[in-house]
Amino acid sequence: MQLTAPATSRSNTPARTGTRDADGMAVASFILGLLGLLVLNLFLGPVAIVLAAVSLWRGTARRGRAYLGLALGVADLAVLLAAMQLSQTVSWSL
């Protein structure tokens, strides 16, 4: 069973696939960074940062979303740090 379409013999296919993958990573970093503000920010924040950095390195066409994902990933960690300082524990809860 094949889940993806077979590769075509066009010369521009690898570049389009790489850009499309980078665009997907930029969107994923934005969504994970946004979700990380609410839950699992210790895990989702660094994942959003890494995905945004890789998508920018690969030359995504969605640079704004990648930068937002990067900023939200950093904000996830800042929210976690602030909540930990306020509750004076290693973890936090609402």
Q: Give the span between the Cα atoms of 83 and 70, in whole angstroms.
A: 20
Residue 60 scores a pLDDT above 70: yes
* Per-residue confidence (pLDDT) for residue 84, from 0 to 100: 86
Q: If you search the block for the tokens 């013999």, which residue do you land on?
A: 9
- pLDDT per residue as tens digits for the range 23-54: 888 999 999 999 999 888 889 999 999 999 99
Residue 87 scores a pLDDT above 70: yes
Neighbours of 48 (CB within 10 A): 31
CA 37-42-88 angle, to 5 degrees, is 90
22 pLDDT band, cuts 50/70/90, is confident
* Per-residue confidence (pLDDT) for residue 73, from 0 to 100: 94
Tell me what the pLDDT averaged over the chain comes to. 82
Tokens matching residue 35: 């979700």
Model pTM?
0.74
Give the closest residue to 68 by CA, choosing from 29, 40, 37: 29
Q: Give the span between the Cα atoms of 15 and 91, in whole angstroms.
A: 43
